Homo-oligomer: A and B are copies of this chain.
């Protein structure tokens, strides 16, 4: 299988497939036709087939998809067939919200530590996990096999902290700081720019108001 040829757009749709298949599993659905899956997900059946063909298909003519099998296989593609140790840097509201969200744990993302610059937070625990000092960060990554760091700190500190994470040997950064991190190619960065998303909403509202005025 040649992963590198798969487009970002396809990869971007995989988590959504995984989510819908998980819901079907929860509802006790064992198999689903590509046309029913397509209605549920509101994408065309041909798009689903094309997307899944990138990974070898999974469907059977006249049968459709076996929900559990497809869920498991997409899970493997997404790297969910093993656990990932994560840490959160920045124990403010957003960091704490993410730390408290148990859904990540269910998907195999195991929170091993929290870090914050605020000395008053040192030793405070969230779900039993203590908040640590930033100067422990690099060694902690090395000694605890940490793969992913979640960055929920202001953008002014983001580049500097990301540098420490890279030195510690981090593989991926889930970046909520409002800046695009420039890092070595072997470190994967996935950014969630919340403001960008709000501005897109604002654009779409303004643009739909203009449409209404013009009609």
Contacts and interface: CB of A to CB of B under 8 A. Distances in A.
Given A11-B203, A77-B203, A190 B198 contact: yes
Q: What is the count of identical protomers in the complex?
A: 2
Contacts of A94: 93-94, 97
Interface residues of A, number: 58
A178 B19 contact: yes
Interface string A156-175: 00000000000000011010
Contact of A196 (B16, B42, B147, B209): B16
A178 B14 contact: no
A203 B97 contact: no
Interface string A97-118: 1101101100101000000000
A199 B78 contact: yes
A93 B98 CA distance: 8
Contact of A205 (B15, B42, B147): B147
A78 B202 contact: yes
Contacts of A92: 97
